[in-house]
């Protein structure tokens, strides 16, 4: 088993970057996918130290933020008051609750619970009348979107899924809800990247690690750009995403009960920790 001090592997970091874009923009939870895939497959990433795993997360979010900024251009700040109102709740929640959430809600069963809760929100919100367009969004709507983004700090919920559900519950059409979810995403992603990047800057990763992180950033930017295009031309109904999320949650719960079924024998210790539902970041493995 790789030691906790091992550096991130290039191929794994690039693979996670390619996963980050669609997982961030689609209502399936990027945190759940980026955390669970290495864990289920027995990758070195799942055994990195906590600070190193955060470095990878910062790199991936930076790539997504860059791609969103380039795609939206001047539209990124077209409605500054609305963006400020939608950003304040998650920013405050992150400052106060980020550490407790990482400690207490990072376990696989908690992530599965977030996936299931998000599925229920997608289905329930889609029952609301669809009568409003994105330009009609006001300050009250922005605050609801902000509250949804704050709730998405819990792994598995999905920021894009929660904001989409909040917009649909407020009477916006599916297309308008998708547009609003993308509009309010950039400030939160950029702010989270800047905050976590500042915290981790003191470590000053070695040249090889920095190159690996840069490759992850580039992969995340490319996958985000591709996901934006897919989102426009091949939008799926919320029931499809809810079904996928539910299937993933069931797989995670099954893995928690039967560790040998989903991973190679060398990962047994990691799954022993999993079965107690300790956070996957604990002891360098969240």
* 79-137 per-position pLDDT tens digit: 999 999 999 999 999 888 878 887 777 778 889 999 999 999 999 999 999 999 999 99
Bigger pLDDT: 234 or 15?
Answer: 15
The per-residue pLDDT for 265 is 37
> Are 63 and 200 within 8 A, CB to CB?
no
pTM for this structure? 0.83
The domains of the chain are located at 10-275
> What string of H, E and C letters represents the secondary structure of 105-149?
CCCHHHHHHHHHHHHHHHHHHCCCCCCECHHHCCHHHHHHHHHHH
Cα dihedral angle (253, 93, 196, 9), rounded to 10 degrees?
10
* Token representation of residue 286: 């969240």
Q: How far is CA 215 from CA 5, 14, 55, 208, 210, in A?
A: 20, 6, 13, 11, 9
For 146, other C-beta atoms within 10 Å of its C-beta total 26
Report which listed range, 5-19, 39-53, 263-277, is most confident.
5-19
């Amino acid at each position: 088993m790789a030691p906790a001090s091992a550096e991130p592997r290039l191929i794994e970091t690039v693979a996670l970057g390619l996963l980050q874009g669609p997982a961030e923009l689609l209502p399936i939870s990027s945190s759940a996918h980026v955390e669970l895939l290495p864990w289920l497959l027995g990758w070195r990433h799942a055994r990195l130290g906590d600070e190193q795993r955060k470095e990878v997360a910062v790199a991936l979010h930076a790539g997504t933020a860059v791609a969103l900024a380039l795609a939206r251009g001047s539209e990124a700040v077209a409605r500054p008051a609305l963006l400020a109102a939608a950003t304040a709740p998650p920013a405050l929640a992150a400052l106060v609750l980020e550490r407790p959430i990482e400690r207490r809600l990072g376990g696989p069963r908690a992530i599965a619970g977030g996936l299931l809760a998000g599925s229920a929100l997608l289905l329930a919100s889609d029952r609301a009348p669809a009568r409003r367009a994105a330009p009609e969004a006001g300050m009250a709507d922005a605050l609801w979107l902000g509250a949804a983004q704050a709730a998405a700090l819990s792994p598995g919920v999905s920021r894009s899924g929660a904001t989409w559900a909040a917009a649909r519950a407020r009477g916006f059409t599916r297309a308008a809800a998708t547009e609003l979810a993308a509009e309010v995403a950039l400030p939160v992603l950029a702010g989270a990247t800047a905050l976590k990047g500042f915290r981790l800057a003191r470590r000053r990763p070695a040249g090889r690690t920095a190159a690996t992180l840069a490759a992850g950033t580039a992969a995340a930017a490319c996958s985000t750009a591709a996901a934006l295009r897919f989102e426009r031309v091949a939008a799926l109904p919320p029931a499809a995403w809810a079904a996928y999320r539910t299937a993933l949650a069931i797989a995670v719960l099954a893995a928690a009960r039967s560790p040998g079924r989903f991973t190679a024998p060398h990962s047994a210790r990691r799954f022993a920790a999993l079965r107690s539902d300790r956070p996957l970041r604990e002891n360098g493995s969240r």
